[in-house]
Amino acid sequence: MAKVMVFIDGTWLYSNLRTLGEDFQVDYGKLPHVVGNQIAKKLGDKSVDIVRIFMFGSNATNFLDADKDMVKRRRIFYDVLREEYNYEVEVYLVDYRGRRLKRKDRHPDDDFSPEEKCVDIALASSMLYFAALPLAYDIAIVIGGDRDYVPVLQKVRLLGKRTAIASIHGACSFELSEGKNLKGVRDFDVIWLNDLLDEIRMTNEIREVMCKAPFHTGPNPIKTDEFVRKNRAFYCKECREKMWHQRGEFDEDEEDLKYAETPGVVENNRYREAGQPTSDSRNGLRTGDGYTGVVKRLMEFCGFIGTDAGDFYFGMDDCVGGTEFSKLRSGDRVEFIVSRAPRREFRGRDGNGNAEEVSLVALGD
């Protein structure tokens, strides 16, 4: 049985998905296995064993708060790859220098161009590293299309491994796809994702799922075609909208309190409304750090964790599997991942950090 490792250039794939269809969505659980099956066919229906799947991508840092939900969605996407499909994910931060993420949202005269670093070289170095380890893999599949991969594909083949390329028409460099393989970069014909759309397309089936929101009304379980993460509490669309509505009301209350209690803070908050850069590092904490604290305050839909670095806000849907928000109590000790560090220079909502992956610490830990 041939051992296969799949190396995905996440930035390339994300940038070129639209060429597969305006609304096309990839099922990342199926993708590695579909291309693996293509290799099996090329080997004469010999079985293959996909032993590792790697995703190399990026996310923003030092961006304006107006884009924090977009950044959070990307983080959740990477978390889903790890949790649901056992991907090995490497994420590299892109510094936006206090700007909005989309060019259309910036000043017309701003010619800033974000620079993504390390993604290509991280993929190449990982592929070469495992090629040098005895018996780690027999075949490497690169899902990408950049000509930058020519040298590493050549070196991997010199180490006695076979290589394959899965790409998209119009997004694959000539050096990787030309028929004569003059650069010696692959051992098989290119696998074109355009020919595998039905096999890699995301399809959501209708299923019955229990909504875990304590304020849910109506039939439960409900029927939904939404993606449901394993080992995570599911909240129906109506309850999620209620949570966000209540959070908006809470934010307004916090604003009123802050203006009333903090003389001279109005000018600062006008600047905040324009957008304060969200940095990757504050108070010695960085996005992605693990931290511990004590549940300080609980509301119907959210809570606050007190720590020596400041308070962290978390929502009902930020709790991991096995930790039910409705069963948390003030004084409970919890672990969490920092998604934004507290800002001591601001009070109220703007001073709070954000916590994700909130997990109750067992007694005795």
Give start and end residues of each alpha helix (H) in the chain.
10-16, 31-42, 68-85, 119-132, 150-158, 174-177, 197-200, 237-261, 266-275
Reading the block at residue 113, the tokens are 């161009």
Q: Which run of H or E residues covers position 277?
A: strand 277-278
Structural domain spans, the chain: 2-200, 237-360
Predicted pLDDT of residue 265 = 32
Q: What share of the chain is helix, strand, coil (3-state, %, to 5)?
A: 35, 30, 35
Mean pLDDT, each 10-residue run in order, the chain (365 residues): 97 94 93 97 94 96 85 89 94 92 92 92 97 96 97 97 97 96 96 97 89 87 87 84 70 45 33 47 74 90 89 88 86 91 68 89 71
Q: Which of 307, 261, 161 is nearest to 354 (CA)?
A: 307
Q: Report the alpha-carbon distance of residue 337 to residue 90 in Å, rounded.
A: 17
Tokens 């579909």 belong to 34
Greatest CA separation for the chain? 76
- Half-sphere exposure of residue 353: CA atoms within 13 angstroms, side-chain side: 32
Q: Which of 117, 113, 4 is nearest to 56 (CA)?
A: 117
| Homologous superfamily of domain range 2-200 | 5'-nuclease (3.40.50.1010)
**345: helix, coil or strand?**
coil
| CATH number for the domain formed by residue range(s) 237-360 | 2.40.50.140
Do the beta carbons of residue 233 and residue 324 sit within 8 Å?
A: yes
Predicted pLDDT of residue 259 = 36
Predicted pLDDT of residue 261 = 37
Predicted pLDDT of residue 73 = 86
Q: Report the alpha-carbon distance of residue 38 to residue 294 in Å, rounded.
A: 51
